[in-house]
Structure 1
Amino acid sequence: MKYSKATNYALHTMLFLVVSTPNNKPVGVQQLADRQGVSPTYLSKILTKLVKAGMIESTSGANGGYRLKRNWEDISFLDVIHAIEGTTSLFDCCMNHEAECLIQKVMVSAETKMDEHLRNQKLSELAKEIKMVL
């Protein structure tokens, strides 16, 4: 299993926004893109998904950009992943079984455990670790 590069960029962007929340000033897409070496156009598409998921908000104008919305402390890795990748199961049995597929059962169980781990990993907690290092 491999997450898309978009998820990578989304997680890094969100972490940057969480770390820089004390001033809560909007950060421009160009600055966010430059930090990751990605095109602003590509990152804008990712940011749109995060806006639709209710994690960030965008403001237009000369001092516009993106900033976290309220309750950002509760945003988990899984929230960001679902915003970018969707919530579809990673495995879907293609066999026509009479009964429940035992392979599907094992795969869903593993996915559930991984989801729980990612749900418990809050970006705000990771940001605290980063701030202690700086």
Structure 2
Amino acid sequence: MKYSKATNYALHAMLHLAATTPTQRVDVLQLAERLQVSPTYLSKILTKLVKAGMIESSSGVNGGYKLKSNWEDISFLDIIHAIEGSASLFEGCLNHNPDCLIQKVMVSAEEKMEEQLKKQKISDLAKKATSTL
């Protein structure tokens, strides 16, 4: 199972914002430097997080990105869905049989993984990460 680099960067960006500056704006250039990623690429990722309602952006001299007021409730799954969408990882059985045993196993596994990712809040990880960032 593999997620895109964009998801990896989104998770790291959210963790950085939550652990260091949850109420302050951070410039995309500063964040991109911290994450060692292209500012242009990071901007596209952050735009998806803005559209998903997890962060807010503002332009101008004091502009940048910051977490929304409900950031403590944001889960890993929320971030993954914002970047990857919510389509199933498994594409289904070859014959489109609704009773496909393989699909039942794969969907069950995916549901368990999503349950774990939904439980993991970015705020919980931020508490642990403040000493390492």
Scaled by the length of structure 2, what TM-score is found?
A: 0.94
Q: CA deviation at 1:131?
A: 2.7
Q: Which residue of 2 aligns with 1:21?
A: 21
* Contact 2:28 2:65 survives alignment (8 Å): yes
Following the alignment from structure 1 to structure 2, what is the Cα–Cα distance between the partners of residues 97 and 13?
39
- How far residue 86 of structure 1 moved from its aligned partner, in angstroms, is 0.5
Q: Deviations over 1:45-83 (max 9, x none)?
A: 000000000000001101100000011000111000000
Instruction: Give ranges in structure 2 of 5+ residues lacking alignment.
Output: none
Question: How far apart in 1 are the matches of 2:7 and 2:68?
Answer: 19
The secondary structure found in structure 1 opposite 2:40 is helix
AA matched with 1:92 = E
Residue 118 of structure 1 corresponds to: 117
1:78 aligns with 2:77: yes
Look up the equivalent residue of 1:37 and give its one-letter code.
Q
Bigger shift: residues 38-47 or 13-22:
13-22
CA-based RMSD of the aligned residues comes to 1.5
Unaligned runs of 5+ in 1: none
- Provide the residue aligned with 2:47 in structure 1: 48
What residue is the counterpart of 1:32 in the other structure? Answer: 31
Give distance in 2, aligned partners of 1:64 and 1:133: 26
Q: Among the aligned pairs, what percent are the same residue? A: 71
Other-structure match for 1:66:
65
Q: What residue number does 2:8 align with? A: 8
SS at match of 2:56: strand
Contact between 2:93 and 2:100, CA under 8 Å: does it hold in 1?
A: no
Verify: 1:93 aligned to 2:82, yes or no: no
TM-score by length of 1: 0.93
CA distance in 1, matches of 2:132, 2:14: 18
Aligned residues, how many?
133
